[in-house]
Amino acid sequence: MSDMDSRTRGKGDLRQWLSQHLPTESLLPTSWRSRPGSFVALMSLYESNYRRLGQLAGELRSLDGLHRSSVQSDVELELAVIERSPYTTMLQLTYVLGEGSAIPSAPDMEVRIYHDARLAEAHSWANRHEHPLLRSWRQHAGLDLDQRWARNIMLNKWLEYCLERGHGFTRLRAVP
The per-residue pLDDT for range 33-63, each reduced to its tens digit, is 556 677 888 999 999 999 999 999 999 999 8
| Residue 167 predicted with pLDDT over 80 | yes
Please check whether residue 122 is in contact with residue 151, taking contact to mean a CB–CB distance below 8 angstroms: yes
Closest Cα partner for 53 from 172, 176, 158? 158
User: Is 163 a residue whose pLDDT tops 90?
Assistant: yes
Residue 36: the pLDDT is 65
CA 89 to CA 82: how far, in whole Å?
A: 8
